[in-house]
């Protein structure tokens, strides 16, 4: 068990990092982050996340450190696929590039809060009802199969029930006003499409949490490690988004690699009472599946007949 004071200190550190990200967002307000800046901050946040394993090593031991690293790689990989979904949402809503960072920033905050709730609930459920581990395993296998078979299907935000509700209940304009969520037109306060963008990102945050939280519980049951891996996988995601924007073809088969990972983890949960798959083996499977899918993607993106 991790002392509540440690939880509070860690939460404060996460808030501080988010605040730093917000300061950076305000400094670049009105400007699209450059590829160079996005690359630098993506590397910095990744190094910070990896450095946390060095804190865990002397504090909680090698097992906790290796489980954290495995969980971080898993959650970061799932986040990559999520970023491409966000890119499609932004394209559908024609969100200006200058306003996308704000949507991503608040989406990340929402994701961290949601995942903390899901982690605490999932940890309690696994401790209280042992057979729930089999339900989680089946859910991951079903998700993996669905991702493999339908990963390239287009997303239809117009069918989202939250968006439909907003369209019916909130007076809105179809025009953006910078990155403002609400604006005034002829004395009336109207929502801009930014509200729809935030609502869609929030609803997909819930969907992504349902997929990712059971997956990391197959790596470790320690709620602190699970939350730490999730939090660090999300911090700096906005910078990573702008770095990877326009590179979707280079990750064309990423969903296939993630599907293999999810099915593997689902099977791992189903056989947990028969054999505990070593953390090192889990990390190796995740890295190999993702590496193969990324290496294969540029070839798949070549025009037919290209040599």
For the cut 70, the answer to whether the pLDDT of residue 306 exceeds it is: no
Contact between 297 and 254 under an 8 Å Cβ cutoff? The reply is yes
Band of residue 160 on the pLDDT scale cut at 50, 70, 90: confident
Structure tokens at 70: 């495995």
State CA 138 to chain mean position distance: 21
- Distance (Å, whole) CA 261 – CA 282: 9
Predicted pLDDT at 307: 39
Q: Model confidence over 255-266: pLDDT tens digits?
A: 888 899 999 999
Measure Cα distances from 79 to 88, 300, 304 in Å: 14, 22, 30
Lowest mean pLDDT among 24-33, 149-158, 203-212: 24-33
Beta strand 182-185 with 188-191 is antiparallel
Q: Say how many CA atoms lie within 13 Å of 49 toward its Cβ.
A: 26
30: region left, alpha or beta (phi > 0 left; psi from -120 to 50 alpha): left
- Bridge partners of residue 185, in order along the sequence: 188
Q: What whole-number percentage of the chain has pLDDT above 70?
A: 90
Domain ranges of the chain: 4-155+195-300
Lowest mean pLDDT among 33-42, 65-74, 236-245, 247-256: 247-256
For the cut 80, the answer to whether the pLDDT of residue 230 exceeds it is: yes
Q: Model confidence over 18-55: pLDDT tens digits?
A: 888 777 655 655 466 677 888 888 899 999 999 999 99
Average pLDDT of the chain?
85
Contact between 220 and 71 under an 8 Å Cβ cutoff? The reply is yes
Structure tokens at 120: 């605490």
């Amino acid at each position: 068990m991790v002392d509540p004071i440690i939880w509070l200190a860690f939460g404060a550190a996460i808030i501080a990092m988010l605040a730093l990200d917000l300061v950076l967002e305000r400094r670049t307000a009105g400007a699209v982050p450059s590829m160079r800046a996005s690359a630098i901050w993506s590397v910095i946040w990744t190094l910070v996340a990896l450095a946390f394993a060095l804190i865990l090593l002397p504090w909680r031991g090698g097992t906790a450190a290796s489980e954290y690293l495995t969980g971080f790689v898993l959650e970061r990989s799932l986040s990559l696929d999520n970023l491409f979904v966000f890119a499609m949402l932004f394209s559908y809503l024609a969100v200006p590039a200058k306003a996308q960072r704000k949507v991503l920033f608040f989406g990340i905050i929402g994701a961290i809060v949601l995942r903390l709730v899901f982690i605490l609930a999932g940890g309690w459920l696994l401790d209280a009802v042992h057979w729930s581990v089999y339900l989680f395993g089946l859910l991951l296998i079903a998700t993996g199969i669905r991702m493999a078979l339908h990963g390239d299907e287009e997303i239809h935000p117009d069918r989202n029930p939250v968006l439909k509700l907003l369209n019916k209940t909130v007076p809105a304009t179809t025009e953006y006003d910078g990155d403002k969520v609400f604006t005034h037109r002829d004395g009336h306060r109207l929502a801009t499409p930014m509200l729809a963008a935030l609502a869609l990102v929030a609803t997909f945050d819930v969907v992504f949490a349902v997929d990712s939280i059971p997956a990391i519980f197959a790596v470790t049951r320690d709620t602190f490690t699970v939350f730490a891996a999730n939090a660090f996988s999300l911090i700096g995601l906005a910078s990573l988004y702008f770095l990877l924007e326009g590179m979707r073809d280079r990750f064309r088969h990423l969903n296939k690699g993630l599907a293999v990972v999810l099915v593997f983890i689902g099977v791992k949960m189903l056989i947990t009472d028969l054999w505990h798959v070593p953390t090192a083996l889990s990390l190796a499977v995740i890295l190999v599946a993702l590496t193969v899918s990324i290496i294969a993607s540029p070839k798949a993106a070549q025009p037919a007949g290209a040599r």
